[in-house]
Amino acid sequence: MKNHISKALIILSILGTTSRAHAWIYELANHTNHTIAVGMRYKGKNEPLEFRVIEPHTMGSFKPGDPGISAWKKAFVVDMFYYLKNPPTITETAKSSVPWENAFITWLSPEMHEEAMALSEAPARNGKLATLLESANKITIEPTMAQNRHIDIIEDSDGKINFISVLSKEINA
């Protein structure tokens, strides 16, 4: 009887531990008229670069268990995003030699995010989007990536690609 109780406790503790591990989903919505290749590397030693090619006005995501990402990556957190505007064809073997650019996320309040999205879609942007994002970048924020995140990819009037996200916004898993 004691043996059965011990086994049951071991099984329950294993199930309790594994259920806490959460697979963080990073959704990226491309609001530009360009194809954008997005690379992502998890924190950790020798983590490989994962990438998605996101067509104009579509979404892509990074989630453990998706093609190219091991299901064992549950609870891993992104270290850095990279991007390439209008990329050439990228193969798995050549992905490390692609001239990726660092994609820094600009964290915005819900109101500023809404304004940035409206400005990015306006026909005559006149530099207002760049000014808004510059003012947001002056705020020092250290948000956690250990949660689901929705990131919008937008383009300013100078053709610069920007990654923006609402500081408190989490997507549903």
- 91 found inside a domain: yes
- pLDDT, tens digit (0-9, with 9 covering 90-100), for 46-85: 899 999 999 999 999 999 988 888 888 888 888 999 999 9
34-43, 46-55, 78-87, 125-134, range with the lowest pLDDT: 125-134
For residue 24, pLDDT beyond 50:
yes
How many separate domains does the chain show?
A: 1
Percent of the chain at pLDDT above 90? 38
- 11 found inside a domain: no
For residue 169, pLDDT beyond 60:
no
CA 162 to chain centre: 13
| 50 exposure class (CB count in 10 Å sphere: 0-12, 13-18, 19+) | buried
Please report the pLDDT score of residue 17 as a whole number: 46
- 6 found inside a domain: no
- 121 found inside a domain: yes
- 154 found inside a domain: yes
- 119 found inside a domain: yes
- Polymer length in residues for the chain: 173
Query: CA 81 to CA 51: how far, in whole Å?
Result: 9
Q: Which domain holds residue 156?
A: 22-166
- 14 found inside a domain: no
- 129 found inside a domain: yes
For residue 146, pLDDT beyond 50:
yes
| 59 exposure class (CB count in 10 Å sphere: 0-12, 13-18, 19+) | middle
